[in-house]
Amino acid sequence: MMIVIEIVSLQSFSSLTIPDMLKGRSVILQERYHYSGIMDILTNPENAVRVSGFARDAVSGLRILLAGRSDLYIQYQNHVDDAIARLNVTQLLYRYPVSRIPVYINVSKRVPYAQALLDTLVDAFTKINASGVGWSR
């Protein structure tokens, strides 16, 4: 599994790097999220990033972006996918991955029935992922 943080925009920034894309722009963030290493870019005074608001969920954040009240929305990819589907967004959105964090399932061999537990976890993950719950791949 891969957790992907991305920047969503109504305009193309394909020729810019991530730090340059953020410089001097307003961004929407999700309440209570820390966004891994991207906070270093957002809080660096040299980048002059303005936080225009904190969305309570991905649907709210996407609505703020679509209303033109901010330049960029930073969110986990699977949440953006879900919000786009829920809002039935037809407007062109530009999406730029900022961070990819691999997730692994590890079970200590010291755990009783370790292999059975690992097999159960992998099976559950496979079923959840196949159901389209929205986990990034």
pLDDT at 137: 39
Tell me the pLDDT of the chain (137 aa) as tens digits.
Answer: 788 999 999 999 988 888 899 999 999 998 888 776 788 888 899 999 999 999 999 999 999 999 999 999 999 999 999 999 999 999 999 999 988 888 888 889 998 899 999 999 989 888 877 776 555 43
A 10 A CB-CB count for 62 gives: 24
Inter-residue contact 91 to 25 (CB < 8 Å) = no
4 bridge partner residues: 100
pTM, rounded to two decimals = 0.79
pLDDT at 88: 96
